[in-house]
Amino acid sequence: MFEHLYSRRVRNSLGRIQSPRQDLTFEQLKIYYEALGKTLNSQFSKNLELLTEEDKFNYVAYLMADVNGMSMKVAKYDGNDRVHLTENYEYGYCSLVKATKQILDRVELENRIFAKITPKERIETRLWDMIALREAIINAVVHNDYTREVPPKLEFFDNRIEITSYGGLPDGLSEYDFFEGVSMPRNKEIMRIFKDLELVEHLGSGVPRILQSYEKECFHFLDNFIRMTFPVTEQVTEQVTEQVTEQVTELIRVLEKEMERQEIQDRLGLSHRENFRSNYLKPALEQGLIEMTIPDKPKSRLQKYRLTLLGKQLKGQQ
């Protein structure tokens, strides 16, 4: 009971909690400010409220420092549950701003664009609405309760993405207030820095923006967590199905887990390597239906191929 009461007392007070380290540096944070034409002077620690009343670096400073012990997780699963983990990334041990930008870049990469060319226009559709997804990620980072050292988490499934933050709704904020866009920052110091760096507006507009693309049912309020679940856009699969060739469809059908080029070619019963590359492999890669396991070294002898989320969606329709 004492632990519970103490946790509630400091929940909105990262600024009062002393950093576990005092040898902190902030070169990364300074770079982000300078990129926007803003300079952090010698008093920045005080101006950004990075100090306790005893003039010690607080926990906000720890999270914003170049080196810390906080890391956010990004996981990918094969299927619609948490049984088969295929990829597990960590973004952190650096400034929270840098880690957030790295996660946004990763999600941008995963949130593939499918373009449909019509006689009148080019229609681009993503697996998820990027505006809503960006708002959800930043909200999870800014409003996460870091007093228990539990970071936000992102998880990719075949049919959805889940974004989970620790802390539940702040005391005094109801679900009705939440959906109405009422702003009650759990971490006002983090909110201030993210606002300075133009990552957030501080106007409570994040949730209303999300609701423009997704229903309220996408939000799940647990005792100690808030989870946002965004399903894959059905329109993407429909558009892909219309334009995918028979050759690519066949490749998607035979591809399982991670497979080498020769293994896929043998599964298709093809002997001509250039025919396989030009009519099967290349278009599947270009359409974002499959991906390389070693994208930085496309000609690696260890290279394998696997279905992307979009490819899994298409295979599920076959």
Choose among 67, 146, 126, 139: nearest CA to 100. 139
Helix 246-254 / helix 309-317 crossing angle, nearest 10 deg = 100
Listed in sequence order, the residues at least 6 apart from 5 whose beta carbon sits closer than 8 Å to its beta carbon are: none
pLDDT of the residue at 184: 82
Q: Is 85 exposed, middle or buried (0-12, 13-18, 19+ CB in 10 A)?
A: exposed
Counting residues of the chain whose pLDDT is more than 90, the rounded percentage is 65
pLDDT beyond 80 at 114: no
Distance CA 222, CA 93 (A): 27
**Beta strands at 71-77 and 153-156: parallel, antiparallel or unpaired:** parallel
pLDDT tens by residue, 36-65: 999 899 999 999 999 999 999 999 999 999
Q: Select 244-317's CATH number: 1.10.10.10, 3.30.230.10, 3.30.70.20, 3.90.1150.10.
A: 1.10.10.10
**Beta strands at 160-166 and 122-126: parallel, antiparallel or unpaired:** unpaired
Confidence of residue 10 (pLDDT cuts 50, 70, 90): very low
pLDDT of the residue at 173: 85
Choose among 165, 156, 115: nearest CA to 136. 165
pLDDT beyond 50 at 305: yes
CA distances from 291 to 82, 283, 308 (A): 21, 11, 6
Choose among 76, 90, 102: nearest CA to 306. 76
pLDDT tens by residue, 229-255: 999 886 665 566 667 889 999 999 999
Helix 261-268 / helix 246-254 crossing angle, nearest 10 deg = 110
275-314 as b/e, with b when 16 or more CB fall inside 10 Å? ebeebbbebbbebbbbbeeeeeeeeeeeebbbbbbbbbbb
Per the structure block, which two tokens stand in for 113? Answer: 């664009």
Distance CA 237, CA 149 (A): 39
Q: What is the pTM of this model?
A: 0.78
Confidence of residue 110 (pLDDT cuts 50, 70, 90): confident
Angle formed at CA 285 by CA 281 and CA 290, multiple of 5 degrees: 95
Identify the residue whose tokens are 């990364």. Answer: 28
Residue type at 312 in one-letter notation: K
In eight-state DSSP terms, residue 25 is: -
pLDDT tens by residue, 173-215: 889 988 888 878 889 999 999 999 999 875 667 888 899 999 9
pLDDT of the residue at 203: 61
The CATH class of 71-233 is alpha beta
> Does this chain's domain 71-233 share its CATH topology with 244-317?
no
Per the structure block, which two tokens stand in for 276? Answer: 């396989």
Lowest mean pLDDT among 11-25, 39-53, 61-75, 116-130: 116-130
Where in the chain are the domains? Answer: 2-64, 71-233, 244-317
CA distances from 214 to 19, 125, 145 (A): 38, 15, 25
